[in-house]
Every structure is written in C-alpha cells, then in structure tokens.
Amino acid sequence: MDNFISLDLIFRWLHVLFGITWIGLLYYFNFIQGEYFKEAEASAKADATKKLAPRALWWFRWGAMFTFITGVILLVGVRQTHGIDGYIIMGALMGTFMFLNVWLVIWPNQKIVCGIVEGDAASAGPKALLASRTNTLFSLPMALGMMGSQHGAGSAGSIVDHANAGVAQPLTMGLIAVIVLILALEANAIVGKLGPMATVRGVIHCSVALTVVTLVLLQFV
C-alpha cells in the first residue's frame, strides 16, 4: 500500500492546481486587465471585453468551482483525521464566500458587461468589481488559514479535536471576532462600497492588514 499515492495527496495537488488557476486569474483581472482598461483606446477595450475577457472568465469560474469542490473533500478528510482549528475555519469560510462571489455576483454581472446577456452594464460593472476586490482582499488571509491549520498555536488550537474522540471545544473570542469580521466584509461586498480597495495599491494594503489582524486574533485573543 505504501507504493500507492494516497487520495489525500491527489486531492491536495488538485486543490493547489485549481487554486493557482483561480487566484492567478483573480490577480490578473484586478492588477493587470482592470488597469489596462483604464488606459486602453475604446476600440481595444471593446475588443478585449468581447473576445479576451469571456475566455479568461471561463477558466476563472471553473477554477473557482473545482478549487471549492476539492477543498470540501479535503476539509472532510482533515476533520476526520486531525480536527478543525481556527485557521482552517477562517480559510474555509473566506474560500466559500470567494467561490460564491464568483458564481453569484462576478460572473452574472460580467456576462452583462461582456455583452453575453442583456442588462445594465453601467451598474453591473461596479457590482462585479466590488466582489472581485473583496475576493482579492480575502486572498491573503485565506491562504494563511489554509497553510496555518495545524501549525498555529495558542487560541488557534483545535475546535473539533478528532484525536480527543471528536470532542468539541468552545470557540475562542479571537475566532469569533474573525468570523464577525469576515461576515461584515462579505456584506460590504454585496451592498457596500469599494472604499480604500478602489486602487490596486489600496486593496493589496488592505489584504496585508487583514492578514495581520486575523493572525493576531487567532494567535493571541
């Protein structure tokens, strides 16, 4: 049996592969294409919107889909073997909202912007942008959550500890604060404003700051 590759390794490899595709295109849209569209001539922008963006969005949304599916499979396995800690809860919650933002907000509105379906492109564009910026905001702390699971210390210890016969531990105040913060930011993604995320530099700074805040909350609160 030792000569066979475990299913856990296969799904981890797939999860990373699909995640690279998804988040790579997320950064492309936010850091490259969006900035190019601000400077492009009208004809070039129209051509890219019609021919380039739909192709990129296809890989983007299906990368998100299969990252989410493999993530759910891995989460079930992690819960059964190691238990679930504050880091994986944060990462999974952010990843789930990011996936939902892609399929329920970004893609429906981008279909209007790209002319695939009829609608008000003037209002659809800002909605898609806000959700996309929020996903960019979540991307760094989400990665921390996925990588930090089982490696953190202090209050980020197991919430459901399989090694202890699946005994549930009370949620820490730090984890509760992280969950509330994530919910508030996701609510802003739906009905709020860009604020400091309006610029590339702004959303990067906000993502780094959010990563630091969530790390402190999980480790020390």
Q: What is the pLDDT of residues 158-184, one digit of tens each?
A: 555 555 545 556 678 999 999 999 999
Conformation bin of residue 169: beta by default, left when phi > 0, alpha when psi is -120 to 50: beta
Question: Does residue 17 register a pLDDT over 50?
Answer: yes
In the block, tokens 């073997």 appear at 81
CB within 8 Å of 16: residues ≥ 6 apart: none
**In this structure, what token pair is assigned to residue 119?**
């609608």
pLDDT at 197: 97
- Boundaries of every domain in the chain: 7-220
Q: What's the rounded mean pLDDT across residues 100-115?
A: 97
- Mean pLDDT confidence for 187-213: 97
Q: What is the mean pLDDT of the chain?
A: 89
pLDDT in the model for residue 158: 54
The partner residues of 158 in beta bridges, in order of sequence, read 85
Residue 23 neighbours by CB distance under 10 Å = 20
The pLDDT of residue 1 is: 44
- Amino acid 109: pLDDT: 97
Q: What pLDDT is recorded for position 85? A: 86
Q: Are 148 and 156 in contact (CB under 8 A)?
A: yes
pLDDT exceeds cutoff 70 at 5: no
Which pLDDT belongs to residue 77?
79
Distance separating alpha carbons of residues 120 and 131, to the nearest angstrom: 17
What is the arithmetic mean of pLDDT over 106-115?
96
Amino acid of residue 71: G
Q: What are the residues whose beta carbons fall under 8 Å from the beta carbon of 2, sequence distance 6 or more?
A: none
Query: Residue 157 pLDDT > 60, yes or no?
Result: no
With residue 168 as reference, give the H or E element that holds it. strand 167-168
The whole-number average pLDDT for the span 192-199 is: 96
Q: How many CB atoms lie within 10 A of CB 99?
A: 20
Q: How confident is the model at residue 154 (pLDDT cuts 50, 70, 90)?
A: very low
